[in-house]
Amino acid sequence: MLESEARSYHGSGTCTFYETANSNQMLMDMMGLHMPGASFINSNTSLRDALHRKLPNAHLKITALGNDYTPIGKMIDERSFVNAIVGLHATGGSTNHAIHLITMAAADGIQLTWHDIAEISSVFPLLARIYLNGLADINHFHAAGGMGSIIRELIEENLVHDNVHTVFGQDLNAYAIEAKFGSDGNVVHEPALNKSGNHKVLAGWRKPFQPDGGIRVLSGDLGTAIMQVSAVKFEHWQIEAPVLVFNDQEGLQEAFKAGELNDKDFIAVVCYQGPKANGIPKLHKLTTILGVLQNRGQKVALVTDGRMSGASGEILAAIHVTSEALDHGPISRLQDGDIVCLDAPCGQVSCFRRYGKI
């Protein structure tokens, strides 16, 4: 197991699939908050080390110690957050940012909601196929042009605000580049690729992988939830099935090991995983279990007041359901056998009728 795991990673640093840590790098590029060209440069390489050495001087210039003091609250505004949301949808990024971005915006005095994020998703296509929504890893994405190429195209197509403040005192065009070593051994910024280096990984605006970014807001008599469908096959975007209710992910795991989930269609409901009840732990291990059952031909899905981390995959999952179970939200009143409908195209999460206990 350890040997197999070691072969899956090139070295230290973030995971090679497109989860929250890598989505964070994308967001910092889109918001102009870190070194241009630094995203997805592997750790412990000479280029990464050179970028690290270059960064402090650039950042110190905009502190009170420098000549261009620009606190972050003055630097970022509504345009910065719109750019971040566009990047999130263009790359199929982590659903965790449906929490992070709203919190960041609130700290900056900006009101941002799930519906704002979903509204942009509905008109913005998916331009990247990175595991879990594709076979390529983050290194393939970077080699195909990466963030520099995406930002360049978004600017050229007038799909982002390029006239924003960045930590380098320039606009977003400063991030439409590729960082590399010049002939003198110093880091230089060259224009990013103006077309994809691998169309299976990075698509153009006019030929996207999917017509929308994949993050949906669901509403209904079970409350409000979000869903990421960029990695879910379209035939799985809707389900109506009895629920099996668990109060933690361990209960679902034990039921799977005992064979209690075999040969039936169901929606797993995992309650009391919200921020008040349980600190909103990662539930992404459940994707593997439900994926096994789905690959056997069963129709399965997940409803939870918890989160899936950045590893939302092939399973239809309504997450961050509010009000959460601890607040006596409707999800807390579901019982085994109740019929629930998840409908991604229509944005619905509802309980239609009760069968009582199975």
**Among 184-198, 234-248, 282-296, 300-314, where is mean pLDDT lowest?**
300-314
pLDDT at 200 over 90: yes
Predicted local confidence at residue 268, as pLDDT? 98
Per-residue pLDDT tens over the stretch 21-42 = 889 999 999 999 988 999 998 8
Please say if the pLDDT value at position 74 is more than 80. yes
Quote the pLDDT of residue 357. Answer: 40
- Per-residue pLDDT tens for 142-158? 999 999 999 999 999 99
State what percent of residues in the chain have pLDDT above 70. 95
Per-residue pLDDT at 311 exceeds 70: no
Q: Report pLDDT digits (tens) over 270-280.
A: 999 999 998 88
Mean pLDDT of 110-123: 94
Structural domains for the chain: 2-191 (no CATH), 215-353 (3.50.30.80)
Give the C-alpha separation, 273 to 279, whole Å: 7
Answer whether 110's CB lies under 8 Å from 81's CB. yes
60 — pLDDT class (breaks 50, 70, 90): confident
pLDDT the model gives residue 282: 85
Confidence of residue 355 (pLDDT cuts 50, 70, 90): low
Instruction: Provide the pLDDT for residue 240.
Output: 96
The reported pLDDT for the residue numbered 150 is 96
DSSP string, 199-238: TTTB--TTS-SBSS-SEEEEEETTEEEEEE-TTS-GGGSE
Which stretches does DSSP call E strand in the chain?
177-181, 187-191, 215-220, 223-228, 238-246, 266-270, 300-304, 317-322, 339-343, 348-353
- Whole-prediction pTM value? 0.91
Nearest to 99, CA basis, from 185, 225, 203? 225
pLDDT more than 90, % of the chain:
66
**Other Cβ atoms closer than 10 A to 334:** 20
Q: How far apart are CA 342 and CA 318, in angstroms?
A: 8
Using the structure block, give the residue that is written with the tokens 């009895």: 242
Whole-number pLDDT of residue 356? 46
